[in-house]
A and B are shown apart, each in its own frame.
Chain A
């Protein structure tokens, strides 16, 4: 067994990463729900859920989320009469799969070298990892649109239409806002972008691309359908939006997907703008210098970096909660106005200004060509 592991370390680690990472993200969801409940209580100056206890142990209300899960599973299955028999079931799956898949390109620690093999600590190392992440993340809109249509409910349909146009509107800006970062780091590979942010904190994307960072964060909120952009649900207008007719586990999948897409977006913000797994001023080499480069040292290094990554993602997740409980929801026309008339022109401007500045900075670089001479 040990020999097999040693010989097939790449294959085994690849499989392990592809299974462990999604499970980890899915397990963030209960904690995120807890954070949301306790956070909202904290913001609203009340106590929040804490009563559920097992043998007198309350675990700060964590049992509530577990009770939720039990309840979701044992709920009655209701499929409305006019609902589409196939699409009604397909829609949650179509939302869940991209939510799990989108995380694949994000690196969460520096490469480790075990038995002579370099193992990247990221599920898949792709030539265009950023494009992959955005491409897959944008597939989620299909599930939402399908859910609304399959339910045969007017609230659902309206919610899904709103959601589709909201996500489409902000996706345009999303593509353009990240372009500035990609231009500065000259890569579509997340691991290269993170590596470029090593060392001093001012090398982080948020400092070289402040406008892009703010725009991207706003777009991220919109793409995750979170307040102040939660119009697809808009409970005071549309009951529950696209998942009005969903109950039980199928509803739970929508619920989970929303939180998972928040995690993914936070991870992307971290990767692009907050230095990814980089610890400020402490490069991988320095960590290796402290811990050594044997297996234990590498593991410690990776642990530190994963902790750094998790801390950044966690802070952003807290930001999501914070914003949700302090901001009011947009009206739909305000949302469209913001997306098309503010975000898009700003994103275009940001890109062209960035390009012009880099043109001046790089004009003496030997890699800099003058035209199509190839």
Chain B
């Protein structure tokens, strides 16, 4: 099957981002390092993200709103499967990635100026990483999945170490790099074993071949699947593969941390769901049990560790681990109801919806953390936030909304999202997971509300006057609005997520 113009049209969001990333590198190479030189680069990157967003919308519109017909792209010659595909699931996730990237660009503009990190490459790398995430969501072949994962990860390794003179940033980049390389190696090994067992790297072929393998004798496939799941668990920072996350999140520049905990997580879950649903589609492997265990550990471990944190970034890092646990609950539900064609109706829409809500609220929370700083200085201790409710009431309200949403308290997006996940868990008979989820959410209320309490209940004399950045404020407003909107009127987006998830089958 020859490469057709349709292939390029269907992958246009990725191509647009790559093109703009390359353009940004050229522009950056021509720009100086003056105080306002970042502005055109940031503007261009936002324009690129908007263009990609427009392409996503057009694609969604073209395939019809009722059910987005999947299109297989870049099918090589010689009877191999398609490299990527464009369907509703991909487009929904593309929107999540673009949202995360856009908000990151907004909050980083002021941050980079303030912290003397005037690297135009930052925006180019964000775009490349986003392109990698989109590829991850649309990869139909394990090799493409690996490559896209690397495209995303390599950009992020550099972003983590952006603050070159900061020891913590270096530590973060190095830890992330080593663990990332390690988990990629595990993934490659898993892919090799799965290829050995099934004779293909294309997901539909793997599922078909796996159905002919007896579980008791399919040890090659079993080990391969286990390795792939392990590698992906590293990427989503699930307990017990989470050790790198707090240090990497804490040391990285704050906008990068925000991007890592939203975009990367969304991309890893998009890929995880697709691979898991294909890998286990018709194979009698005890996948649900394994994922059940990881989900439970992640929820409990992440929330308990977050309680004792005194650094906001670290606290949010552990909170993002905990949220990975909630998302895994949805994955357990989905894998439990897996069909032989890789389709599923339970769980995946909840994961998609949760990731949209989670992106908004986490981005918002990080935006407040970014906002709350001065030249070459960040205030990351929980104590630093004491009393800002009196001095900056609007920011404090926004931060409270984000934190309440993260804790899952109505009427915020976090509540609706969590509700959806736990409903799926109960519907598929995993009431125990739902109970653990609710209980750990109660624990999380403690550490989220502690910040709110500090903001409003304690007054301090020494007030910090943050450097004003309009872009960061805009990001806070946008995410605040999004969190409230999704909490009050979740219906339309919920419907989109469901339509998207319906197109998972190949």
Binding site for B on A (CB under 8 A): 371-374
Cα distance A372–B77 in the bound complex, in angstroms: 8
CB distance from A196 to the nearest CB of B (A): 29
Q: Does B181 contact A (CB under 8 A)?
A: no
Q: Name B1-32 residues within 8 Å CB distance of A.
A: 2-3
Give Cα A374–Cα B2 distance, bound, in whole angstroms. 8
Q: Give chain B residues whose Cβ lies under 8 Å from the Cβ of A371.
A: 2-3
Question: What CA separation (Å) do A371 and B2 show in the bound complex?
Answer: 7
Q: Considering only CB atoms, which chain B residue lies closest to A373 in the complex? A: B2
Bound CA span A372–B3, Å: 7
* A340 CB → nearest B CB, Å: 15
Q: Which residues between 53 and 87 of chain B lie within 8 Å of chain A, taking CB atoms? A: 77
Question: How many A-B contacts if CB must be within 8 Å?
Answer: 7
Residues of A within 8 A of B3 (CB): 371-372
Which residue of the partner chain B has the closest CB to A371?
B2
**Quick one: closest B residue to A370, CB to CB?**
B2
A193 to B: closest C-beta gap in Å? 28
- Listed by A's residue number, 5 A-B pairs whose Cβ atoms lie within 8 Å are A371-B2, A371-B3, A372-B3, A372-B77, A373-B2
Question: Which residues of the other chain, A, contact B77 by a CB distance below 8 angstroms?
Answer: 372, 374
Main secondary structure of the interface of A (DSSP, over half): loop
Q: In whole angstroms, what is the CA distance A34 to B2 when docked?
A: 60
Minimum C-beta distance from B93 to chain A (A): 28
Which residues of the other chain, A, contact B2 by a CB distance below 8 angstroms?
371-373
| Cα–Cα, bound, A253→B3 (Å) | 54
Which residues of B are found within 8 Å of A374, using beta-carbon distances?
77
Interface residues of B (CB under 8 A from A): 2-3, 77
CA distance A223 to B330 in the complex (A): 59
Q: Which residues of B contact A373 (CB under 8 A)?
A: 2
> Whole-angstrom distance between the alpha carbons of A372 and B76 in the complex?
9
Cα–Cα, bound, A271→B21 (Å): 42
A374 CA / B3 CA spacing, docked (Å): 11
A371, A372, A374 interface centre (most CB from chain B within 10 Å): A372
Shortest beta-carbon distance from B300 to chain A in Å: 52
Closest 6 CB pairs of A and B: A374-B77, A372-B2, A373-B2, A372-B3, A371-B2, A372-B77
- Measured in the bound complex, the distance between the Cα atoms of B227 and A252 in whole Å is 53
Nearest chain A residue, comparing its CB with the CB of B3: A372
A120 to chain B, nearest CB (A): 32
Q: Give the distance in Å from the alpha carbon of A280 to the alpha carbon of B3 in the complex.
A: 45
- In the assembled complex, how far is the CB of residue B22 from the closest CB belonging to chain A, in whole angstroms? 16
Question: Which residue of chain B lies nearest to A374 when distances are taken between CB atoms in the complex?
Answer: B77
A372 to B4, CA, bound (A): 9
Distance between Cα atoms of A168 and B2 in the complex (Å): 38
Alpha-carbon gap, A373 to B76, bound state (A): 10
Residues of B within 8 A of A372 (CB): 2-3, 77
CA distance A357 to B216 in the complex (A): 61
| Alpha-carbon distance between A296 and B313 when the two chains are bound, in angstroms | 86
Least CB distance, B4 to chain A, in whole angstroms:
9
User: How many angstroms from the CA of A371 to the CA of B77 in the assembled complex?
Assistant: 12
A372 to B80, CA, bound (A): 14
B418 to chain A, nearest CB (A): 47
List the A residue with the shortest CB-CB distance to B78: A374
Give Cα A374–Cα B76 distance, bound, in whole angstroms: 10
**Closest CB in chain A relative to B289 CB, distance in Å:** 44
Residue in A closest to B74 when the chains form the complex, CB atoms: A372
Q: How far is the CB of B248 from chain A (nearest CB, A)?
A: 33
Q: Could you tell me the distance between the alpha carbons of A120 and B15 in the complex, rounded to whole angstroms?
A: 49
Q: How far is the CA of A372 from the CA of B74 in the complex (A)?
A: 11
Shortest CB-to-CB span from B120 to chain A, Å, is: 22
Smallest CB–CB gap between B80 and chain A, Å? 12
Q: How far is the CB of A115 from chain B (nearest CB, A)?
A: 42
Measured in the bound complex, the distance between the Cα atoms of B2 and A23 in whole Å is 52
Q: How far is the CB of B164 from chain A (nearest CB, A)?
A: 23
A373–B4 CA distance with the chains assembled, in angstroms:
10
Name the CB-closest residue of A to B77: A374
Distance in Å: Cβ of A372 to nearest Cβ of chain B: 5
Bound CA–CA A371/B3 (angstroms): 8
What is the distance, in angstroms, from B386's C-beta to the closest C-beta of chain A? 55
Q: How far is the CA of A76 from the CA of B3 in the complex (A)?
A: 68
> How distant is B173 from chain A, measured CB to nearest CB, in Å?
26
A373 to chain B, nearest CB (A): 5
Min Cβ gap B234→A in Å is 34
**B464 → chain A closest CB, angstroms:** 48
Q: How far is the CA of A374 from the CA of B78 in the complex (A)?
A: 9
Q: How far is the CB of B181 from chain A (nearest CB, A)?
A: 24
CB distance from B37 to the nearest CB of A (A): 25
How far in angstroms is the closest Cβ of chain A from B161? 25
The complex places the Cα of A143 from the Cα of B414 at a distance, in Å, of 62
Bound CA span A373–B2, Å: 5
Roughly how many angstroms separate A372 CA and B1 CA in the complex, as a whole number? 8
- Give bound CA distance, A373 to B3, whole Å: 8
Min CB gap A32→B, angstroms: 46
How many Å from the CB of A274 to the closest CB on chain B? 39
A371 to B8, CA, bound (A): 14
Distance A372 CA – B8 CA, assembled complex (angstroms): 14
Q: Closest Cβ of chain B: how far from A345's Cβ, in Å?
A: 15
> Closest residue to B1 on the A side, CB-wise?
A372
Q: Determine the distance from Cα of A374 to Cα of B77 in the docked complex, in whole angstroms.
A: 7
Report the Cα distance A146→B2, complex, angstroms: 49
Give chain A nearest CB distance to B419 CB in angstroms. Answer: 48
CB distance from B416 to the nearest CB of A (A): 46
CA distance A373 to B75 in the complex (A): 12
Closest to B76 in A: A372
User: What's the Cα separation between A371 and B7 when bound, in Å?
Assistant: 14
Q: Output the least CB separation between B83 and chain A (Å).
A: 13
A274, B155: Cα distance in complex, Å: 46
> Taking CB as reference atom, which chain A residue is nearest B75?
A372
Cα-based distance from A333 to B77 in the complex (angstroms): 47
